Amino acid sequence: MADISVRGRLALRAAALASWASQRAGRGKGSMIGGLIALKIDGSLMDQLGRGRRTVLITGTNGKSTTTRMTTAALSTLGAVATQADGANMDAGIVAALSTQRTAPLAAIEVDELHLPHVTDALNPEAVVLLNLSRDQLDRVGEINMIERKLRAGLARHPDTVVIANCDDVLVTSIAYDHPNVVWVAAGSGWSMDATSCPRSGEPIVWEGAHWRSTGADFERPEPQWWLDGTELRGPDELRLPLTLALPGRANRGNAAQAVAAAVALGADAAQAAAAAGTVREIAGRYRTVQVGEHAARLLLAKNPAGWQEALSMIDPDSAGLVIAVNGQVPDGEDLSWLWDVRFEHFEGVQVVAAGERATDLAVRLTYAGVEHTTVADPVRAIASCPAGKVEVLANYTAFRDLNRDLEDVS
């Protein structure tokens, strides 16, 4: 257990009281308000809670929560692991997770990419997992190459940290390229629109099969130490492991590969780590199926163009309906121009319904994409408007959150 200062112990007691009050008032678990109050009292609390732990930080534009859950499962083969149960990946949520699991010798912490540099400074992690980097919430995050430079500079301050980096992502590779301690994983990248030019020289990136290279700098795809080969995960020293997942999609196989590589970097047995990662079935309501009247609704979350493209590839074409729900609140990003970057497909034989607070914006995009659809703003009613049977529901952040709440009310 970390040695906490007197001020830090006062901060933890205040946080516990605030969390209790929040729960009593019916305002949720109270972990975020507890973390915020704790940090107001003692700004060094994250540093203190991280001491003595072997920590893995997981960041990227997409897949953070899933990979964190998989990394937690893989690390659990070594001992107890502190982690966020709710995906709260900024300072208050991280402090809350570490404070409620103070005796755990290991930690797998999801970190918002903008927060990674100072969280790395505070926790001095043994490993950092870099998943991918693409445009996300333009009105909050800003220009993507600026984020790449900040993450690169942040990791340069921690040369002993092992970086588990996706060599199929050009921007992630640039972040880790000069780092002295990198494990390269070919985790795949279904989205390359944000890395058509070299982040180091500005010249074009040329793709030759799976390999890519810059035409204007000594910068190319590194040779991976871990990669996917059909149903197997390949690794160092001719390692071959079956990789059987409960979660769908090629992106989740890449997430699992990086989770296993991170656990192995901390000393886990590779076979045990892979088996444990494969047991993850649901992440904060994502991928679960909910019965809504005559409809079996499977819930998928997507938050930016790359995530939407991957989620659309998971849609079962034999489903009776597809509900796409989009809000434009602050946590989603109020700028929805990214909708025009998503390659919406024609879903022949599937009834498509545009839903959410910004259903009209989505309907315009679907019309230009040639997708026949109806518009029903309320997602629950949108599900009910579909033919009986399996319905796929794809929603962005607050639409997903609100739909889960509404489904609890109707179930």
User: Where residue 53 sits, what CATH number does that domain have?
Assistant: 3.40.1190.10
Contact 29, 221 (CB under 8 A): no
Place of tokens 């001491």: 51
Residue 368 and residue 270 share a domain: no
Mean pLDDT of 313-340: 89
Residue 103 and residue 185 share a domain: yes
Rounded distance between C-alpha atoms, residue 97 and residue 109, angstroms: 8
Domain boundary among 230, 256, 277: 277
pLDDT of residue 137: 54
Residue 297 and residue 272 share a domain: no
**Percent of the chain surpassing pLDDT 70:** 94
Residue 363 placed within a domain:
yes
Contact 393, 325 (CB under 8 A): yes
Mean pLDDT of 214-236: 94
Mean pLDDT of 270-291: 92
Tell me: the pLDDT tens digits for 84-119? 987 789 999 999 999 988 899 999 999 999 999 999
Rounded distance between C-alpha atoms, residue 70 and residue 214, angstroms: 33
Please count the CA atoms within 13 angstroms of the CA of 148 that sit on its side-chain side: 21
Residue 255 placed within a domain:
yes
pLDDT of residue 388: 94
Residue 206 and residue 169 share a domain: yes
Residue 175 placed within a domain:
yes
Residue 311 and residue 272 share a domain: no
Highest mean pLDDT among 235-239, 339-343, 406-410: 235-239
Dihedral pair phi/psi, residue 353, rounded to 5°: -125, 125
Tell me: the pLDDT tens digits for 116-175? 999 999 999 999 999 999 876 544 445 788 899 999 999 999 999 999 999 999 999 999
Residue 149 and residue 174 share a domain: yes
Contact 132, 71 (CB under 8 A): no
Which two tokens mark 227?
Answer: 């990669």
Please count the CA atoms within 13 angstroms of the CA of 271 that sit on its side-chain side: 3
Task: Tell me: pLDDT of 2 over 70.
Answer: no
Residue 40 placed within a domain:
no
pLDDT of residue 279: 95
Residue 247 and residue 131 share a domain: yes
Domain boundary among 227, 257, 277: 277
Rounded distance between C-alpha atoms, residue 96 and residue 266, angstroms: 24
Dihedral pair phi/psi, residue 220, rounded to 5°: -150, 170
Q: Average pLDDT of the chain?
A: 90
Contact 78, 265 (CB under 8 A): no
Task: Tell me: pLDDT of 239 over 90.
Answer: yes
Q: Which has the higher per-residue pLDDT, 28 or 285?
A: 285
Residue 339 and residue 192 share a domain: no
pLDDT of residue 232: 96
Dihedral pair phi/psi, residue 79, rounded to 5°: 160, -175
Residue 235 and residue 117 share a domain: yes
Domain boundary among 256, 277, 298: 277
Question: What residues does 323 pair with on adjacent strands?
Answer: 353, 393
Residue 317 placed within a domain:
yes
pLDDT of residue 141: 46
pLDDT of residue 309: 87
pLDDT of residue 399: 94
Return the closest-CA partner of residue 51 out of 11, 98, 115, 108.
98
Mean pLDDT of 46-71: 95
Strands 205-208 and 211-214, by their bridges, are antiparallel
Rounded distance between C-alpha atoms, residue 90 and residue 119, angstroms: 9
pLDDT of residue 324: 96
In 61-181, the DSSP E strands lie at 81-82, 106-110, 127-130, 162-166
Residue 17 placed within a domain:
no
Residue 300 and residue 267 share a domain: no
pLDDT of residue 284: 79
Question: What residues does 6 pair with on adjacent strands?
Answer: none
Residue 265 and residue 300 share a domain: no
364 Cβ contact list (under 8 Å, min separation 6) = none
Containing structural domain, residue 379: 289-410
Mean pLDDT of 45-57: 95
Tell me: the pLDDT tens digits for 350-360? 899 999 999 99
Neighbour-count burial for 3-31, b at 16+ CB within 10 Å, e otherwise: ebeeebeebbebbbebbeebeeeeeeebb
Rounded distance between C-alpha atoms, residue 399 and residue 392, angstroms: 14
How many residues make up the chain in this entry? Answer: 411
User: Where residue 342 sits, what CATH number does that domain have?
Assistant: 3.90.190
**Percent of the chain surpassing pLDDT 90:** 64
Question: What residues does 390 pair with on adjacent strands?
Answer: 296
Q: Which amino acid is at 29?
A: K
Mean pLDDT of 46-63: 94
Mean pLDDT of 369-395: 94
Tell me: the pLDDT tens digits for 166-199? 999 999 999 999 999 999 999 987 666 777 889 8
Contact 86, 109 (CB under 8 A): no
Dihedral pair phi/psi, residue 112, rounded to 5°: -60, 140
Residue 16 placed within a domain:
no
Q: Which has the higher per-residue pLDDT, 39 or 137?
A: 39
Place of tokens 């107001």: 40
pLDDT of residue 165: 98
Residue 341 and residue 249 share a domain: no
pLDDT of residue 196: 80
Instruction: Provide the number of structural domains found in the chain.
Output: 2
Residue 33 placed within a domain:
no
